[in-house]
Amino acid sequence: QSTQRPLEETFLTQADTIMSFVNVVEHNEDVFHHKAQWKEFKFDLTQIPQGEIVTAAEFRIYKGANDNFHGNMTLHITIYQVLQVSQDREPELLLLDNQEVWPTEEGWLEFDITATSNDWLMNPRYNLGLRLCVETAEAPGRSLDPDSIGLVGRRGARSKQPFMVTFFRASQAPIRITRATKSRRGRKKHNQLQESCDRLPSTSAAHNSGDHRRVCKRHDLYVSFRDLGWQDWIIAPEGYAAFYCDGECSFPLDSHMNATNHAIVQTLAHLLKPEAVPKPCCAPTKLSATSVLYFDEKYNVILKKYRNMVAKSCGCQ
């Protein structure tokens, strides 16, 4: 069984960016001719986004079914981080994760390498790669050729190539003040401002009627990535519903306009000095994220959650 817990689903929901890295180095190695066979992997992490921290990382390798061994034989597959390499002695390794599988099993094997990923990001010169070792419970200490048990390497199908996947989250999220902590005080002040606005003499019915027809609200807007010329590097989606805010923020500001206190004050000032103070603007009051799957400059596949991409609601500000 794995020595570390598998990735929790929360990592997927909390991640702002998910990046996959293809293996750039792979070879089997006999250490000091002791028939200790390793498979080595290395990943180029130079395209890591700035200002984000790793929440989880996995190494994934595909295992095909294999009939070369007895069905009841237990295979131990172990992943190590290479800490130091020397020509005159065995490399220094750090055990990261291991799994037990049957020879007849097939599918993707996942190994937790979160700690190693963080180490490589903080100290890129320590990125000496990973090493994989296969042993059997019946003959511990005797390594097997990873290819012989069905592990797919660079010579295998493109869709089954080993890779590393890393989950990132923005390290500096904007500070959000909980509205509940000051809702009572804010509600009283807001009501006073709204009452002051309501006490002002209204304008003509025709003027109000015209503004009401084009009052500040959310409108449909679909953005096509093809129209923007981004289809060559964005894999999915083809576009998304962004919406936009437009309309008048005229007196009186009704509650459905989601007006801020500042917008109410600005409206009052505009009524007193229309030539000096403009009306408030119609703008998004709530934004949400959208996810985009794309290639980076080195053709790594990245799934990134871009914040503040969709206008969820509009108001006068």
How far apart CA 283 and CA 248 sit, in angstroms, is 11
User: What mean pLDDT comes out for the span 194-216?
Assistant: 52
pLDDT at 1: 42
Overall size of the chain counted in residues: 317
**Per-residue pLDDT tens over the stretch 16-44:** 888 888 888 755 554 444 444 788 899 98
**In degrees to the nearest 10, what's the CA dihedral of 31, 98, 152, 89?**
-10
Say what the pTM is.
0.64
Contact 189, 197 (CB under 8 A): no
Residue 306's nearest CA partner among 293, 289, 282, 283 is 289
Give the whole-angstrom CA distance, residue 151 versus residue 137.
18
Share of the chain above pLDDT 90, in %: 26
Sign, Cα dihedral of 232, 152, 162, 31? negative
Question: pLDDT at position 52, please?
Answer: 77
- 39-67: average pLDDT: 84
Contact 6, 167 (CB under 8 A): no
Q: What pLDDT does 237 receive?
A: 94
Lowest mean pLDDT across 74-78, 86-90, 218-222, 229-233: 86-90
Q: What is the predicted pLDDT for the residue at 5?
A: 46
Q: pLDDT of 244-288, one tens digit each?
A: 999 988 777 776 677 778 888 888 888 888 888 898 999 999 999
Instruction: Judge whether residue 242 has pLDDT over 90.
Output: yes
Out of 114-118, 188-192, 256-260, the most confident range is 114-118
**200-204 mean pLDDT:** 44
Percent of the chain with pLDDT over 70: 76
Q: Specify whether the CB–CB gap between 148 and 89 falls below 8 A.
A: no
pLDDT band at 132 (very low <50, low <70, confident <90, very high): very high
Residue 275 pLDDT:
87
Is the confidence at residue 4, as pLDDT, over 50? no
Could you tell me the two tokens for 100? 């037990």
Query: Which domains does the chain possess?
Result: 9-170 (2.60.120.970), 182-198+211-290+306-316 (2.10.90.10)
Task: Return the pLDDT at 28.
Answer: 56
| Amino acid 238: pLDDT | 94
pLDDT at 51: 74
Q: Across residues 180-206, what is the average pLDDT?
A: 45
Q: What is the pLDDT of the chain when averaged over all its residues?
A: 78
**pLDDT above 90: residue 243:** yes
Of 69-73, 175-179, 191-195, 284-288, minimum mean pLDDT range: 175-179
Mean pLDDT to the nearest integer, 53-67: 87
Q: Locate tokens 């034989």: which residue?
A: 73
In this prediction, residue 33 carries a pLDDT of 42
